[in-house]
Chain A
Amino acid sequence: MTIRSLSEEAVWQALARVPDPELPVVSVIDLGMVKSVSVDHRGARVELIPTFLGCPALGWIADKVRAALAEQGFEAEVAFALGVIWDPSRITPDGIDKLRQMGVAVPAKSDAAPVACPYCGARDTDVESLFGPTPCRAVYYCRACRQPFEAMKP
């Protein structure tokens, strides 16, 4: 655990208020998109990990991060880090809960079992299409409750 300075703490608090535009219940922190935060006399620097290179929301998210930090009096530089590859294991436990409540399952990386249905919890599920409404989501079907649902791409 690293000790954050007071101003770094303020940056993290501001980031917690930046939602994903497609899944507004979760923040960029919940999604595990924040790689690092640093603060010095010139301002704040935030490194984000893109979920998918082709995600059209990246520019929007960077703008919102800058705006949220401007509200806190920080001039922020936002960079996208390529060295870390995002996958659903970066989503926080809090993020997983919030996503499930809106019907989006999060497959565990180490879990060989089929993903659990976010509505009924059954694992009698199957991939309907690897391509969902956004690059990071796939469409599944639950045979137990006969409900289609979305999951983050495994």
Chain B
Amino acid sequence: MAREGDMQALDPIIGELALQLGDEELFLGHRDSEWLGLAPEVEEDVAFASMAQDEVRHAAFWYELAEAAGFGQADALAFDRAATERRHAALCARPNGDWAHTVLRHYVYDAWDAVRLASLAESGDALWAQGARRMLREEHYHHLHMEKWVVDLGRAGGEAAARLRAAFEALLPDLPDLAAFAVDPQALFDLGILSRPVAELRRAFVARMAPTLTKAGLPVQDVEDTLAAHPREGPRPVAHHEDAAALLATMNGVRSLGAAVW
């Protein structure tokens, strides 16, 4: 896709960030797509297919930026990099759990993504800012949708609330690495790519989720404590690659046959 706007002088760290964002959107988008035909309602089949389409296209945008930064061809960045080379937050590649886990995982990811995109939308780089603003409009619908599900499951009580609580416990340890960066966030801030330091983004992340988690009966304090225990002021640790390896094997299963035209 040809674009307007121009890239400022590129620091390799900016390309690394583009790879991180691409990997996260691609992996979560792929997990979304795995619900096709299996979601509990036909509307959710459509919703998850639609969100998958959005996330994968957002991934393509970030990989194209990485390509512009000299990291190689976008399709190769998306499909050919080994699991050990990926820069995603572990949460994005986790296998799909039950519906409560799926909903809550997407909700926390969308909440963090919205905070991150809002900061990128104020970036000094026109192309990054324009892309982020476009994505914010699209992510808005994901967030509204997931927020409603989280509150509905929590308020339903019984098995729904119990499963939501179990999902919360399972996802909690992944939150510090989600609300972090694969590269040094201070360097991103100094370069003007991020408009706010990571600690501020994390505060905005908690503030954004607090009313929804409270309505759903989930303890916001646990999120704050977990994030505080792992500040991640530098680059976060690399995610274990087993989940990504399995995901890539499935995603590339047809492509690796070699006969397909892309």
Contact = CB atoms under 8 A, between A and B. Distances in A.
Interface string B11-52: 000000000000000000000000000000001001101110
B57 interface: yes
Given A54-B138, A56-B53, A83 B46 contact: no
Task: Name the residue among B3, B50, B145 with the largest chain A CB count within 10 angstroms.
Answer: B50
B46 A132 contact: yes
Nearest to B1: A80
A47 B4 CA distance: 10
Nearest to B55: A54
Interface in A51-82: 52-56, 58, 78-82
A139 B47 CA distance: 11
Interface residues of B, number: 30
B132 to A, nearest CB: 10
A153 interface: yes
A130 to B, nearest CB: 5
Contacts of A55: 57
A139 B44 CA distance: 12
B47 A130 contact: yes
Contact of B54 (A129, A135, A139): A135
A139 B3 contact: no
Interface string A124-141: 000011111101001100
Contact of A54 (B3, B53, B144): B53
B2 interface: yes
Nearest to B52: A54
Contacts of A131: 43, 46-47, 49-51, 141, 145
A39 B55 CA distance: 35
Given A53-B57, A54-B138, A81-B4, A128 B43 contact: yes
Nearest to A53: B57
B46 A53 contact: no
A134 to B, nearest CB: 8
Contacts of B138: 52-54, 135
B230 interface: no
A87 interface: yes
A52 B3 contact: no
A139 B61 CA distance: 27
Contacts of A132: 46, 50
Q: Which 7 A-B pairs have the closest CB atoms?
A: A54-B57, A131-B47, A79-B2, A131-B50, A82-B130, A129-B43, A54-B53
Given A53-B54, A54-B138, 7 more contacts: A53-B58, A53-B61, A54-B56, A79-B2, A85-B137, A130-B47, A131-B145
13 contacts: A50-B1, A52-B54, A52-B138, A53-B57, A54-B54, A79-B3, A80-B1, A82-B134, A130-B47, A130-B141, A131-B49, A131-B141, A139-B43
